[in-house]
Amino acid sequence: NAGVTQTPKFRVLKTGQSMTLLCAQDMNHEYMYWYRQDPGMGLRLIHYSVGEGTTAKGEVPDGYNVSRLKKQNFLLGLESAAPSQTSVYFCASSQGGTVRSGNTIYFGEGSWLTVV
Amino acid sequence: DQQVKQNSPSLSVQEGRISILNCDYTNSMFDYFLWYKKYPAEGPTFLISISSIKDKNEDGRFTVFLNKSAKHLSLHIVPSQPGDSAVYFCAASAQHLQGAQKLVFGQGTRLTINP
């Protein structure tokens, strides 16, 4: 049972390069999320999606774009990478949209990105 | 502006004793609180949660306490086991217009259980 899978796991980019992180979930979840985690800070929400074909901005969306063309996939793009985007990126998914309903958010294993 | 704070970056506890992890929040609109556990090179996994209408929730060795007047919650692990060594994140949720689960995370506390 794969759950939430992220590719690639590790990547080194030069400033100005572009790349796409791919997230795939096999749980038929409606909601998907991209977070970043930086030292001394909690996970911060970059973008999220409430269903196929939808995207919305989270807490720190600048410098990133996302797409949800298929329900099971959520792509995070960096158009022109900057050193400030060096971070660990986590994709997540959930069936429901409200924590009160008991829906748990499931996280992927993370993607380590370094921008030099 | 850190709405959810975990002021202890690390905590070391002897095996078999109680581990207490603390979390403070500032936003009174938060209505659900969660704890996630994270091992190195893995994603966070859900541990336990509590609604703002309760003051305690227990699940086996894990108990979360909520003090709304103090805007403080804590996670108790009794007895602590070596496998509990991990980073623990406190998270809070407030209803969002589109219904998505927008969680606000604390910085995390690294718990080490010593044999």
Asked if B32's CB is within 8 angstroms of A104's CB, the reply is no
pLDDT band at B96 (very low <50, low <70, confident <90, very high): low
Q: Average pLDDT, stretch A44-69?
A: 95
> What are the b/e assignments for A65-101, b being 16+ CB within 10 Å?
ebebeebbbbbbebeebeeebbbbbbbbbbebbbbbe
Tell me the pLDDT tens digit for each residue of B32-68: 999 999 999 899 999 999 999 999 999 999 999 999 9
CA distance A27 to A47: 20
d(CA B105, nearest CA chain A) in Å = 5
* DSSP string across A33-96: EEEEE-TTS-EEEEEEESSTT--EE-SS-TTEEEE-SSTTEEEEEESS--GGG-EEEEEEEESS
Interface test with A, best of B101, B102, B105, B109 (most A CBs within 10 A): B101
Q: Which of A97, A107, A109 sits opposite B100 (nearest CB)?
A: A97
Closest C-alpha to B10, from B87, B64, B105, B79? B87
Interface test with A, best of B48, B53, B103, B104 (most A CBs within 10 A): B103
Q: Is B64 on the interface with A (CB under 8 A)?
A: no
Asked if A45's CB is within 8 angstroms of B102's CB, the reply is yes
Q: Is the pLDDT of residue A71 over 80?
A: yes
Q: Is B27 on the interface with A (CB under 8 A)?
A: no
Q: What residue has token string 């959810």?
A: B4
Q: Average pLDDT, stretch A15-26?
A: 97
Asked if B49 contacts B57 with a C-beta cutoff of 8 angstroms, the reply is yes
Q: Is the pLDDT of residue A93 over 60?
A: yes
Q: Average pLDDT, stretch A64-89?
A: 97
For residue A105, the chain B residues in CB contact (below 8 A) are 46, 101, 103
Provide the sign of the torsion angle of the four alpha carbons B52, B58, B64, B66, taken in this order: positive
Tell me the pLDDT tens digit for each residue of A101-113: 556 889 999 999 9
Asked if A54 contacts A68 with a C-beta cutoff of 8 angstroms, the reply is yes
Asked if A115 contacts A14 with a C-beta cutoff of 8 angstroms, the reply is yes
- What is the DSSP-derived secondary structure letter of residue A5? E
pLDDT band at A115 (very low <50, low <70, confident <90, very high): very high
The identity of residue A39, as a single letter, is: P
The two three-digit tokens of residue B24, written as one number: 């403070």
